[in-house]
Chain A
Amino acid sequence: MLFNNKKRNEAVDILADRIVAGFSPAQDRPKGTDWIPKRATEPIRIEEASEALIAPSETIKDQLASMFKNNKVALVSAIVIVVFIIGTLFAPLFAPCDPYVQDLGNRLAAPSIHHLLGTDNYGRDILSRMMYGGRVSLLVGIVPTCIYMAIGTILGLIAGYCGGIVDSIIMRVADVFMAFPSMLLAILISYTLGAGMLTIFCALSFVSWGGTARVVRSEVLSLKEKEYVEAANSIGVKTWVILLKHILPNCVPTLIVLFTMNVPGNILTESGLSFLGIGAQPPSTSWGLLVFQMKKYLSKSPIATLAPGIAILILVVAFNFLGDALRDKLDPQLKD
């Protein structure tokens, strides 16, 4: 459970005041008439205070709610992301045309009522292809991020909690992986596995876990000194239970922030790889691949060529703004 420290400290202060007031000699009591009546009229405050002590006060949910209420940029970013997810997920419902049907008589058409963003070199509707292609971009942005963050979290938990040689080994391996730019590793893996989605998934899922491991490890290092972990340890709770029940839940805010900040990187890498021709393969499509296909026609139909890139930019900007806001709210220490 996540406690809001500020509220908790206030509660402790109030309780302490009451106790001190109760025991202090009459001449030290607050001047005026009110201390006994005040005490009598305010038992609820004390009860509230003690409640704040024992009950979880502000959960992640509350924190998020207050963030969206106060931070309009975060709210707009979240809405943009949701719109993108819905638009691509239900592409068959919303897409104006079939993204695979070629209309060779209508190649590279300029934007019109029928084709809002024009058509590609096979006469296919760009907007519809973007809606289908966005599925790939979002999927590759989100799923591999989940996978490598899970790997990083597990290894970070183990490294931080076990310490010693285990810690050294895990973190040295993390260093090696962090020295590799994910783009280079993806290029290498694409040689080995051949170009395609599987390559991108592997390249993005297993490379970038080092950063997560490092952050989780440092969280664990401070958390394992906490009294409740020591208490659990002393009554013989199993290590993995301590890790899962007492330490992991306290890493959740940090992980949420990291996730939001990592997704855009993966979206950009995927689009870059697809643009190089070693990512998504035709006839399936992604935003990067769309730009790649239309590259030759930049001077002829700039809108159709550049539109998919704008989609990437908007989505990535939205994720980055949301990530910034989440960090400020949930984990300001992550700033550097």
Chain B
Amino acid sequence: MAKYIIKRILVSIPLIIVTILIVFLLLQVVPGNPIAVMMGEKANPEVIAKVTEEMGLNDPLPKRFFDYLVNLVHGDLGSSYKLNRPIAGLIADAFPNTLKLAITSAIVAWIIGIPAGIVSAIKKDTLLDRFLMGFSLVGISLPVFWAAMLLQYIFGYSLGILPISGYATAKHMILPAFVLGWASSGTIARLTRSSLLGIMKNDYIRTARAKGIGETLVVVKHGLKNAMIPVVTMMAMQFASLLSGAVLTETVFGIGGIGVLMVSAINARDMPLLQGSVIFSTMIIILGNMVADLLYSVLDPKIKEQ
């Protein structure tokens, strides 16, 4: 087991480095000097040259990449051009908001998704099953920004019960959590259903039924235990992707999280900030996938032997 965990962690390291390299290259191949692009046409050429030199942008590409990696290991992501602040600090400021949004929407997704999947599986091919699976499919198909605005209109403008944007109080968290939670619940519900249906075909379930245990107990005690393994893995991966910043939801509701940080970096053509925030996000996703894999191996003893 320990061997598997170590192996899985070691596999992630080159993946992280290559990902950083791709982000780095994508942003460095931009034609023209990023400082000049950001400062605009009116900027003094001497100032541009000086800043370019200070930022180390005249160094050869491999050296710059290596320097960046070394700084990254030390937690230094460079400074934002526009805001003139360390990027690590900006991310640290934005992350709590993203974290709050991720946790609340994940909880909504689980509360909707898991029961919906279980009920659908038990009542397979009934009207209830069709309704729940239809609801899940709409969730998957939801353009998040649109759903967000719809809820803003209904609960904010028409009924006036909930705030439209900002992220100060618990009340502010309700709409964003519901939008993102509904959108994420579809995947969970569908996976729970198909996984549970697959498990219920097994012989040991038939044995349990033959022993005369009630159907509910069979599902809860024997079925769910195994059916939830892939679902928990999916939940971990989904949580990681929520943590990496829900760009659209954050934008609509004006939540100052990682996603909004990225969009503002694009609009300001603030290359280091964009680079830093995107690398931060992808690292969270890679780490999240790693945790999901490890979780899977802990939960499912069959994996360990391979």
Contacts and interface: CB of A to CB of B under 8 A. Distances in A.
Contacts of B157: 298-299, 302
* Residues of A in contact with B, size category: 35 or more
A189 B22 CA distance: 11
A179 B137 contact: no
Interface in A228-252: none
B interface secondary structure, majority? helix
B78 to A, nearest CB: 16
Interface in B226-271: 230, 241, 244, 247-248, 251, 262-263, 266-267, 269, 271
Contacts of A313: 138, 141-143, 146
Contacts of B230: 336
B153 A179 contact: no
A183 B251 CA distance: 14
A276 B249 CA distance: 11
B79 interface: no
Contact of A181 (B191, B271, B285): B285
Contacts of A291: 143, 145-146, 149
Interface in B106-159: 137-138, 140-147, 149-150, 152-153, 157
Nearest to B138: A317
Contacts of B18: 176
B271 to A, nearest CB: 7
A320 interface: yes
A183 B27 contact: no
Interface residues of B, number: 46
Contact of B149 (A181, A306, A319): A306
Contacts of A272: 143-145, 247-248
B168 interface: no
Contacts of A184: 244, 262, 278, 281-282
A294 B15 CA distance: 41
B137 A324 contact: yes
A278 interface: yes
Interface in A287-336: 288, 291, 295, 298-299, 302, 305-306, 308-310, 312-313, 316-317, 319-321, 324, 335-336
Interface of B: 15, 18-19, 22-23, 26-27, 29-30, 137-138, 140-147, 149-150, 152-153, 157, 191, 194-195, 230, 241, 244, 247-248, 251, 262-263, 266-267, 269, 271, 274, 278, 281-282, 285-286, 289
